[in-house]
């Protein structure tokens, strides 16, 4: 029946093709366009030629309008036929459609149960693989049942990558923490060593200062003693010199007294001569040099007079 109806429709299609002919033919239009192409506007100011171009364009547009109207009329008939066919199609499909959907739903449910049973059988293996990676985040076992094998592999790889990254971050955090602790221990050891060294240095300085103080005190005593010895030695030397000088003075005085005793008869004459020397009348001199010589001579005479009176 289906092939027969299609054959009838194919015959109808051929008949419709013969019926739906336009008033103007393709050949007629091509001839009109060929004539139009002969019109060329050489001079834009040629009003006569420009009017011919406009009239020719409007004539061609009239052909187009008639063609569009006829085409729309033919299409409207086809649209009404198609709409009727579609309505019949929908009426028929409305009978079988719901039952097909019901049957398909049953098949889908059976497929869902089959897939669920298959994934449930694989669930222990999936959980074992995830647990082997190590606990990172809580996961819902029911969500694992919603994944097919490729989807689970993607989930597993992402879980594994996330665990590796978490382990890497944790290892880095622990390394940094250990490094901080190690640095703190190093700093503590260094500080303890510095404090110990500071105490040793302070004690060494205290002992050195104490020794230096004692040495300075002893040196002060030695210097004082040396100064006293030197002073005593100088005093002894000074006393020796003084005694020698006193002895010389005494010996000189004794010689003078002996000379005085020897010259005593002439003493009066020498004394008078000395007075005469000191009472001499001085000349008046003109030059400074002569006065200096006179002054020096006067001093000598006075010394001589003093000596004569002894």
pLDDT in tens, 248-288: 877 787 787 677 656 555 667 767 776 776 776 777 777 88
pLDDT tens readout for residues 5-56: 667 666 666 666 667 778 888 899 999 999 999 988 888 888 888 899 999 9
Give dist(CA 135, CA 132) in Å, integer: 8
pLDDT above 70 coverage of the chain, percent? 85
In a domain, 85, yes or no: yes
For position 1, what pLDDT does the model report?
A: 46
Residue 71 placed within a domain: yes
Name the pTM for this structure: 0.35
What three-state secondary structure class fits 23? coil
**Domain presence at residue 115:** yes
Say how far apart CA 295 and CA 210 lie, in whole Å.
71
Domain membership of residue 222 (yes or no) is: no
CA distance 11 to 46: 56
Q: For the chain, what is the largest distance between any 2 Cα atoms, rounded to a whole number of angstroms?
A: 208
pLDDT, tens digit, 9 for 90 and up, residues 61-85: 998 999 899 889 888 888 888 888 8
Average pLDDT of the chain is 82
The answer to whether 34 touches 60, Cβ cutoff 8 Å, is: no
Residue 61 belongs to a domain: yes
Q: How far is CA 143 from CA 121, 124, 139, 147, in A?
A: 15, 14, 8, 7
49: exposed, middle or buried (C-beta count within 10 Å: 0-12, 13-18, 19+)? middle
CB atoms within 10 A of CB 50: 13
Q: Could you tell me the two tokens for 44? A: 């834009």
The answer to whether the Cα torsion of 18, 20, 22, 23 is positive or negative is: positive
106 domain-assigned: yes
Domain count, the chain: 1
| Domain-located, residue 303 | no
Scored b (16 or more CB within 10 A) or e, 143-180 reads: ebbebeeeebeebbeebbeebeeeeeeeeeeeeeeeee
- Residues 165-223 have pLDDT tens digits of 888 888 899 999 988 988 888 888 888 888 889 988 888 888 888 889 888 888 888 88
How far, in Å, CA of 84 to CA of 91, rounded? 11
Domain residues for the domain of 90 are 2-122
Closest by Cα among 3, 5, 4, 15 to 88:
5
Query: Do the domain assignments include residue 295?
Result: no
């Amino acid at each position: 029946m289906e092939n027969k109806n299609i054959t009838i429709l194919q015959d109808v299609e051929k008949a419709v093709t013969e019926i739906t002919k336009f008033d103007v033919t393709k050949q007629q239009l091509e001839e009109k366009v060929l004539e139009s192409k002969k019109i060329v506007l050489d001079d834009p100011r040629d009003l006569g030629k420009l009017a011919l171009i406009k009239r020719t364009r409007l004539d061609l547009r009239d052909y187009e309008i008639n063609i569009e109207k006829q085409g729309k009329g033919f299409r409207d008939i086809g649209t009404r036929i198609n709409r009727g066919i579609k309505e019949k199609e929908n009426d028929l499909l409305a009978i079988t459609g719901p039952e097909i959907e019901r049957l398909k739903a049953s098949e889908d449910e059976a497929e869902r149960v089959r897939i669920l049973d298959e994934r449930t059988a694989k669930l222990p293996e999936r959980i074992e693989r995830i647990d082997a990676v190590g606990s990172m985040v809580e996961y819902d076992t029911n969500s694992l049942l919603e994944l097919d094998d490729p989807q689970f592999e993607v989930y597993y790889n992402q879980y594994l990558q996330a665990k590796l990254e978490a382990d890497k971050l944790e290892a880095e955090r622990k390394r940094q923490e250990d490094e901080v602790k190690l640095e703190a221990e190093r700093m503590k050891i260094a500080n303890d060593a510095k404090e110990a060294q500071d105490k040793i240095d302070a004690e060494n300085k205290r002992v050195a200062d104490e020794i230096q103080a004692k040495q300075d005190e002893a040196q002060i005593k030695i210097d004082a003693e040396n100064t006293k010895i030197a002073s005593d030695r100088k005093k002894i030397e000074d006393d020796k010199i003084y005694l020698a000088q006193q002895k010389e003075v005494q010996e000189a005085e004794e010689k003078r007294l002996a000379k005085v005793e020897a010259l005593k008869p002439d003493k009066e004459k020498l004394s008078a001569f000395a007075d005469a020397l000191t009472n001499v009348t001085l000349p008046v001199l003109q030059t400074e040099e002569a006065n200096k010589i006179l002054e020096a001579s006067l001093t000598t005479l006075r010394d001589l007079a003093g000596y004569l009176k002894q």
